Homo-oligomer: A and B are copies of this chain.
């Protein structure tokens, strides 16, 4: 049994960036010795989130529009009364979508639909340096029991 540890680092603009991390995460799985198991990607931080989505530009705008509709920026959040960064909406959005994604690994590859990409969504309202924590757990490529 192998536990592969890695990270994915990048900068965001603070304007509801949706960052496609599929290629980097897939590369980590490819380079690991894990054949079959699961992948977990996690954001340490309360204003970012992870999900999967088709990375089509119109759809990414649709998802941002949806977040703005149900959790509008600039609304009267109690968090903003005591916090000058006024990012109450960022926190509520992040807690709704959630901080991690878990996907299966088969034959040394992460399993995803053809159009399904793993994305990080920057919910904060200022540029951030992000370092996602990646864990791959499973059988090694040579052990093979299943």
Shortest CB-to-CB span from A17 to chain B, Å, is 15
Q: A116 to B104, Cβ gap below 8 A?
A: no
**Complex Cα gap A51–B65 (Å):** 23
Q: How many copies does the complex hold?
A: 3
Measured between beta carbons, the chain B residues less than 8 angstroms from A80 are 58
Q: A145 to B52, Cβ gap below 8 A?
A: no
Q: Given A3-B145, A79-B56, A82-B58, A116 and B66 touching (CB < 8 A)?
A: no
Binding site for B on A (CB under 8 A): 1-5, 36-38, 40, 42-46, 51-54, 56-59, 61-63, 65-66, 69-71, 77-83, 88, 91-92, 94-104, 106, 111-113, 115-117, 133, 135, 137-139, 145-146
